Amino acid sequence: MTRSARRTRRTLQVAGAGAAALLALSACSSSDDSSSSKSDSSASASPKMSGTVTVFAAASLQESFTTLGKEFEKANPGTKVTFNFGGSDTLAASITGGAPADVFAAASPKTMAIVTDKKDAVGTPATFVRNQLEIATLPGNPDKVTSLKDLTKSSLKVVLCDKTVPCGAAAQKALTASKLKLTPVSYEADVKSALTKVELKEADAAVVYKTDVHAAGSKVQGVEFPESANAINDYPIVLLKNAPNAVAAKAFIALVQSAEGQKVLSAAGFLKP
């Protein structure tokens, strides 16, 4: 890439970030009452939206995004939100491979970069939440796991996400930072699979997201660990270049970033961006 092109690109990025920041600010400030803000945004947005919005989102966003999808459909009758949840890396590969989608919400900037590098995104991705790791153990914590170090006990069957998945990369970061060597029994392809292994009681513990522990309810018991602060994942969201329904897609992204959206996400355990 030429230097001038790079400069142009950076200018655009800054401009884009600025615009995104302004958008976020306006979204935050314009609402006290969710319904009024919704009617506001729908009134100020282009005339009645319709059609399907296809959202590719990281597995950890499953519960909260599904809720947001239903809210979106209620607020905009005639629309339908369909989701494809999975490992962010797999989703990114599908998008660059040509899968038709409107929105991509990844669990790490690295996996988002796979899409933006191939120029399949419009504008700059905006971080809309952050996620922190947490240990999920069997209900009642029978193995008395209290720290990350406890997981290295040889008698425990621990599953981690694969390094290629954001959750796995974050776990590795935390482990390296604490100078711990953990050999799991399996590297799962996405965070939900790791969680399922504990839910099915096949594994004694897994390193997953706070949100996953929250979503699993009584099926697992969460154990926080301080090292997780070293490896918090930023979750970016972006409109895709070849979005079939860009108008509705933008509105969905706006909802995610709005106070209402943030409320839902926080309730699930996400950290504010």
Partner 1 sequence: MTQLDTSDAAAETLKGGPGRRRVRMTGRGVPLPLLIPALVGLAFLLLPLVALLVRAPWRSLPSQLTSTEVWQALQLSLFSATAATAVSLVLGVPLAWVLARTEFPGRGFLRALVTLPLVLPPVVGGVALLLALGRNGVVGQWLDSWFGITLPFTTTGVVVAEAFVAMPFLVISVEGTLRAADPRYEEAAQTLGASRFTAFRRVTLPLIAPGIAAGAVLAWARALGEFGATITFAGNFPGRTQTMPLAVYLALQNDPEAAIALSLVLLAVSIAVLAGLRDRWMTTS
Interacting residues toward partner 1 by CB under 8 A = 87, 89-90, 92-93, 114, 157, 159, 162, 164, 184-189, 193, 197, 200-203
Alpha-carbon torsion 31, 33, 34, 35, what sign?
negative
Least distance from C-beta 111 to partner 1, angstroms? 8
Q: Which one, 102 or 188, has the nearer CB to partner 1?
A: 188
Q: Which one, 163 or 263, has the nearer CB to partner 1?
A: 163
Q: Which one, 3 or 181, has the nearer CB to partner 1?
A: 181
Least distance from C-beta 261 to partner 1, angstroms? 28
Cβ-proximal residues to 266 (8 Å cutoff; 6+ apart), any chain? 272
C-alpha to C-alpha distance for 239 and 229, rounded to whole angstroms: 29
Least distance from C-beta 140 to partner 1, angstroms? 14
Least distance from C-beta 87 to partner 1, angstroms? 7
Cα 94 to Cα 44, 125, 209, distances in angstroms:
34, 18, 23
Cα 119 to Cα 87, 94, 241, distances in angstroms:
20, 14, 8
Of the candidates 95, 41, 75, 88, the residue with the CA atom closest to the CA atom of residue 250: 41
Least distance from C-beta 162 to partner 1, angstroms? 5
C-alpha to C-alpha distance for 85 and 96, rounded to whole angstroms: 16
Least distance from C-beta 148 to partner 1, angstroms? 20
Q: Give residue for tokens 């998945």.
A: 165
Q: Which one, 6 or 163, has the nearer CB to partner 1?
A: 163
The type of residue at 98 is G
Q: Which one, 188 or 260, has the nearer CB to partner 1?
A: 188
Q: Which one, 136 or 268, has the nearer CB to partner 1?
A: 136
